[in-house]
Structure 1
Amino acid sequence: MAQVSTRKVSLCGKELHGLQHICAFFDSRKEMYDILNPYFREGIDVGDEVVTILESSAHDDHVERMRNGGVPVQDAIQRGQLKVVPSEETYIQDNVFVVDRMYSTLEGVLKGAAEGEFKSVRTCGDMEWALKNLPGTDDLMVYEAKVNTLAPKHDCTLLCCYDVNRFSGRVIADVLATHSHVIIGGHVHENPYYLDPVTFLHKLALRRSSPAPLASES
């Protein structure tokens, strides 16, 4: 049964209602944190657990940008409200992406929040790890679709960040198809290209089963 959220969740100056799985497209780190820092600050202020996932090599910069953006990083980390988690321990543990494993990891985070001190959770996953093309990465969109079956069971806001300069047009199209809301150009929109998980996974299966087109001959 879907959870009814009464907490405030704002992005890009817009207050959102209900459960959200949001993709955010950025073309610079500055633009990214201009949007993320108010989202993080608000989460801490209203008592959410805030979970950020990104590659360990970016953690120092991530923490510094949050601190410069007014996020009370040290206090929130000390009381367990803010978590900065490496992609290498979540998405690509053992240098492979496994859909069911990551789904279970996220489910554990959401259940843990509901049963713990903070009750609700907002996340932010920086998807740069997918550019490494490690084994299993081709199943990322299967995971993104399945998240839409998990989110309605929990009081959560799930945000996935993609650099539009680094991901292919095909990936961007699939990201749009698997998120109900999208941030682009500093604004959040209800996404008209969103497909329910069953429909998307069916389309993806058909695409994968179709033979690749033959190269045109000169």
Structure 2
Amino acid sequence: MSAKHHFADRTNQGRLKCYRLGERKERRFLLEDLLAYAPSVNIDISEAGLIAGAVNRNDSDLQCGHPHYCSQYRNTGEQWTMLKPHLLNHLEPGAVTVYLYDGGVQRIEDWLAGEGHSSTSLQAQGILRLIPADSIYLEGGVKLVGCSSFWKSIISNCEALGVERLLITGEMNWATSEAPGTELLLQYEQALDDIAAQYPWLTLLCQYDLTRFSAATVFDTLLIHPCVQLEQSSATGLVVQS
């Protein structure tokens, strides 16, 4: 079943509210309706699971069956709630975290300090790498081949160093700019999904600030990500096989 027919089926059943717009009567959805619908189609994880704290990486991936996550939040408190278990689980010997951030790093440093970690020390040990997202995505425009090559080089370097677990996470606000190539966001996410499937020791977490993205983009992220994290639950995405 295609994604189009999947959502037509759900709206016709009254499970997902939609609105008809324009002469073509195209379906459109409200952000709140989409977020309410996402957990209803799959698994809910209690506070004893992924949301509560650091968990075994393999156990967390089994909750959704795939290591490519999308977190959706409205404020930094919600952001940290969803990021925390992934990040803390990769601040151990044999693990590495590559974090692409938006704005300054003080917020991230404060989160880590609250858990007894020094960002400076973690970076000196090579466990944590903080990179401005704009420097990767927006300088010269977004280029799918270039971005994929960058991540593959990071993964290859970690593999050569014997890294056992790698977390790559990025704050996605760069995609709200008008820089050339940002319209390729979904193709970029698909490329990440393909990369994730090749490396069982890799976890990807794309962080979406719901106050910055349109409902249409949020809808698309639900379609492309195998696993979606909301504030109080984690659920498999709305990926529909053709």
Please tell me the TM-score bracket, short chain as reference. 0.7 to 0.9
Give the corresponding residue for 1:88: 134
**1:98-143, CA deviations, whole angstroms, 9 ceiling, x for partnerless residues?**
1111111111111211111423211210001111221110001111
CA distance in 1, matches of 2:77, 2:115: 11
**Are the structure 2 counterparts of residues 19 and 49 from structure 1 closer, same or farther at C-alpha, using a change threshold of 3 Å?**
farther
User: Cα offset for 1:195?
Assistant: 4.1
User: Cα offset for 1:70?
Assistant: 3.5
CA contact (8 A) 2:68 2:205 kept: yes
Give the corresponding residue for 1:148: 193
User: Cα offset for 1:162?
Assistant: 0.4
CA contact (8 A) 2:82 2:229 kept: no
Residue 48 (structure 1) aligned to one of 77, 95, 108: 95
Query: What TM-score do you get using the length of structure 1 for normalisation?
Result: 0.77
Residue 110 (structure 1) aligned to one of 141, 149, 155: 155
CA distance in 1, matches of 2:168, 2:99: 6
Instruction: Give % identity.
Output: 21
CA contact (8 A) 1:33 1:66 kept: no
CA distance in 1, matches of 2:98, 2:108: 13
Give the corresponding residue for 1:181: 227
Residue 51 (structure 2) aligned to one of 1, 12, 29: 12
Structure 2 segments unaligned to the other structure (5+ residues): 1-48
**Are the structure 2 counterparts of residues 84 and 194 from structure 1 closer, same or farther at C-alpha, using a change threshold of 3 Å?**
same
CA distance in 1, matches of 2:219, 2:93: 33
CA contact (8 A) 1:41 1:71 kept: no
**1:57-81, CA deviations, whole angstroms, 9 ceiling, x for partnerless residues?**
3222222222224344222111111
Residue 208 (structure 2) aligned to one of 162, 178, 181: 162
CA contact (8 A) 1:24 1:182 kept: yes
CA distance in 2, matches of 1:66, 1:133: 32
CA distance in 2, matches of 1:109, 1:92: 19
**Are the structure 2 counterparts of residues 65 and 20 from structure 1 closer, same or farther at C-alpha, using a change threshold of 3 Å?**
same
Give the corresponding residue for 1:28: 75
User: Cα offset for 1:173?
Assistant: 1.1
> Which segment drifts farther, 22-31 or 65-74?
65-74
- Higher RCO (CA < 8 A, seq sep 6+): 2
Q: AA paired with 1:54?
A: Y
Work out whether 1:76 is the aligned partner of 2:122.
yes
Give the corresponding residue for 2:177: 132
Q: AA paired with 1:36?
A: L
Work out whether 1:67 is the aligned partner of 2:67.
no
CA distance in 2, matches of 1:54, 1:22: 16
Give the corresponding residue for 1:209: none
CA contact (8 A) 1:99 1:140 kept: no
Q: 3-state SS of the aligned residue for 2:234?
A: strand
User: Cα offset for 1:164?
Assistant: 1.3
CA distance in 2, matches of 1:188, 1:46: 27
CA distance in 2, matches of 1:180, 1:111: 24
CA distance in 1, matches of 2:223, 2:229: 14
Q: 3-state SS of the aligned residue for 2:91?
A: helix
Q: 3-state SS of the aligned residue for 1:93?
A: coil
**Are the structure 2 counterparts of residues 70 and 124 from structure 1 closer, same or farther at C-alpha, using a change threshold of 3 Å?**
farther
CA contact (8 A) 1:49 1:81 kept: yes
**1:12-40, CA deviations, whole angstroms, 9 ceiling, x for partnerless residues?**
14732364111000011011112323321
